[in-house]
Amino acid sequence: MYSDKVMDHFRNPRNVGEIDNADGIGEVGNPVCGDIMKIFLKIDNNIITDAKFKTFGCGAAIASSSMATELVRGKTLEEAWEVSNKAVAEALEGLPPIKMHCSVLAEEGIHKAINDYRVKKGFEPWTEKNLHSHEQEDMTCQH
Amino acid sequence: MGAQRTIYLDHAATTFVKPEVLEAMIPYFTKYFGNPSSIYGIARDSKHAIDVARVQAAKALGADPDEIYFTSGGSESDNWAIKGIALANRKRGNHIITTRIEHHAVLHTCQFLEKEGFEVTYLPVDQYGLVNPEDLEKAITDRTILISVMYANNEIGTIEPIAELGAIARKHKVYFHTDAVQAIGTIPIDVKSQNIDLLSLSAHKFYGPKGIGALYIRKGVRIENLIHGGGQERRRRAGTENLAGIVGLGKAIEMATADIPGHNAKIRSMRDRLVKGVMEKIPHTRLNGHPEMRLPGNFNMSFEYIEGESMLLWLDEEGICASTGSACTSGSLEPSHVLLATGLPVEISHGSLRLSLGDANTEEDVDFVLEVLPSVVKKLRDMSPLYQKSGKEGGCNVQ
């Protein structure tokens, strides 16, 4: 059911772990729904120099976390903010429809970590401009 | 990365077909393929084979052969029993009693009937998955026409007190159906002494072929047909008989019920070693289902802080075929209704693993699982944000 890319990132997840004194941390999901992602970002001069994650969830959730952290590494915060759930899913060569919410969670995790950093630095948090997650409404755990 | 060997631990999902069963079936594809409704020689052979299988099935249940009706499997048998009784007895009442832990073939059929004006009571179960007979008796009203309680649960393996529930149903003159799909070959069944009016079974759960099952209907039970058409199965279930399947079911049920205690002892000892070993090797683990009143091959455990599908994927990498109560493999986003009905917290239900042992297994399989599973659980816990390695209790830190 999963693409080779998903299985690769599931078997050999990139960037697993925590960052001590991370500049931004974003935790999203809910154990009731069976998915929790915690994203850790190291940020220097507006650039994400390191990204790590810890995830409780299915194969797609682990692979999405792995891919999302890969995609944002080395990017500016503005560029990282633009990494959409679709980009994560496409980089994984697709996710089954019922698993698309895992990529949404990864995007939300990155956003939350970026905003955590912005708030800590005294900036206004950025607001979610696209409402893509609502497209997934019936695929999203309502808890 | 193909696994070197396959370790099949999903016998509750389906079983392999025993060579003796397959051998018995083959002539009925090639040589004696005649339509049993025809009158020439090869058709008479077909008809005779069906009669033999009917006797084999009846003997396994303590029923009369003319109380056995062949169907396409467990789901059809459950649908027929419930819809058939509901439709034939709606003048007497519109109330059905079942439980929260039934297979979806029963639950969804009951939900369908609710839309058609029937009322359904879904009995709760205790932490082990047992139905309380007192709850059943209290739920019966003068409009109750059917009680349907599974013999043994497919996920957690809990064996229900069927004889006791059957006696209550009989006392109140309510029809009693049991989905015995998981029970055949592991629990001695006697429909007469256990007061069972209808019983569903499916051959592929006891080393027979898929696509064939049966419904036992006690003589005198008022039931409507589900499949209308020709006059097969004594005008009760239309459709040209699945001849080879019926022969396979007969042979399989005869073999499965020949030595139930001997078969159970071997499988139970492997299962118990597996449970004990996992408990010793993996902390924050719990056994789901009843400690004793459970199917001998059923292992259902929850591993806190991790999710079931990722466990299955890693086990699959090692060639181990298993199953989980997590939402992520069911096509829905809710975890197992059975685990939730036992009061298991949702987040822990996501981390459940079902291994169902059977005749495909050996002691070496148990050794291999005990070697592989702890490292799979550790690997997933190490990347889980819920797992607090520092805390002694390692408690779940999220509400």
* Residue B332 confidence (pLDDT): 63
Option in B313, B335, B383 nearest A59 (CB): B313
Catalytic, A33? Answer yes
Hey, is the C-beta of A25 within 8 angstroms of any chain B C-beta? no
Contact A27 B385 (CB under 8 A): yes
* pLDDT confidence of residue B389: 47
User: According to the model, what pLDDT value does residue A137 have?
Assistant: 45
Note down the domain range covering A124: 4-139
Apex CA B216: angle with CA B165 and CA B133, to 5°?
A: 5
Give the residue on B whose Cα is nearest the Cα of A96.
B331
Instruction: Check residue A34 and give its pLDDT.
Output: 86
Tell whether the model's pLDDT for residue B388 goes beyond 90.
Answer: no
What's residue A128's pLDDT? Answer: 82
pLDDT beyond 50 at A1: yes
Q: What's the rounded mean pLDDT across residues A112-123?
A: 97
Query: Does A94 lie at the interface with B, CB-CB under 8 angstroms?
Result: no
Burial B298-324 (b: 16+ CB within 10 A, else e): bbbbbbbbbbbbbbbbbbebbebbbbb
Q: What is the pLDDT of residue B5?
A: 87
Residue given tokens 């206004």 in the structure block = A124
Between chains, do B384 and A56 touch, taking CB under 8 Å as contact?
A: yes
- Mean pLDDT across chain A: 91
Q: Which residue is closest to B334 within chain A, CA to CA?
A: A33
Q: Compute the nearest-CA separation of A87 from chain B (Å).
A: 22
Asked if pLDDT for residue B392 goes beyond 50, the answer is no
Write down the pLDDT at residue B85. 98
When divided into structural domains, chain A yields a total of 1
Nearest to A31 among B313, B331, B347 (CB): B347
Structure confidence at residue B135 as a pLDDT band (50, 70, 90): very high
Name the helix (H) or strand (E) containing A67: helix A59-72
H/E run at residue A36: strand A35-44
pTM: 0.93
Say yes or no: domain B19-256 is CATH 3.40.50.720.
Answer: no
Q: Is A141 an annotated catalytic residue?
A: no
Residue A27 touches partner B, C-beta closer than 8 Å: yes
| Residue of chain A whose Cα is closest to the Cα of B324 | A58
Comparing CA positions, the residue from B143, B178, B378 lying closest to residue B278 is B378
**Mean pLDDT for the stretch of residues B162-190:** 98
In this complex, is the C-beta atom of A14 within 8 Å of any C-beta atom belonging to chain B?
no
Check if the beta carbon of residue B223 is closer than 8 Å to that of residue B197.
no
pLDDT of residue B1: 47
Q: Taking the C-alpha atoms of A61, A67, A71 and A74 in order, what is their torsion angle to the nearest 10 degrees?
A: 100
Q: How far is A141 from chain B (nearest CA, A)?
A: 6
Where b means 16+ CB within 10 Å and e means fewer, B14-46 reads ebebbeebbebbeebeeebebebeeeeeebebb
Q: So what's the ipTM on this one?
A: 0.91
Residues A34 and B328 sit within 8 Å (Cβ to Cβ): yes
Residue B391 has pLDDT above 70, yes or no: no
Cβ separation of A16 and B310 shorter than 8 Å? no
Half-sphere exposure of B280 (CA within 13 A, CB side): 8
| Candidates A7, A30, A54; nearest CB to B384 | A54
Where are chain B's structural domains? 19-256, 259-382
pLDDT in tens, B337-367: 999 999 999 989 999 999 999 999 999 999 9
Buried b (16+ CB within 10 A) or exposed e, B89-117: beeebbbbbbbbbbbebbbebbeebeeee
Q: What is the pLDDT of residues A16-66, one digit of tens each?
A: 999 999 999 999 998 888 899 999 999 999 999 999 999 999 999 999 999
Q: Is the pLDDT of residue B65 over 60?
A: yes
> Domain B259-382 classified CATH 1.20.840.10?
no
**What CATH number corresponds to the domain at position A9?**
3.90.1010.10
Residue A139's pLDDT band (cuts 50, 70, 90): low
For residue A112, the 8-state DSSP code is H
So what's the pLDDT on residue B330?
55
Q: Comparing C-alpha atoms, which of B74, B126, B135, B133 is closest to residue B101?
A: B126
Mean pLDDT, to the nearest integer, of B226-250? 97
pLDDT score of B163 more than 60: yes
> What integer is the mean pLDDT of A94-111?
95
- How far is residue A71's CA from residue A51's CA, in Å, rounded to a whole number? 9
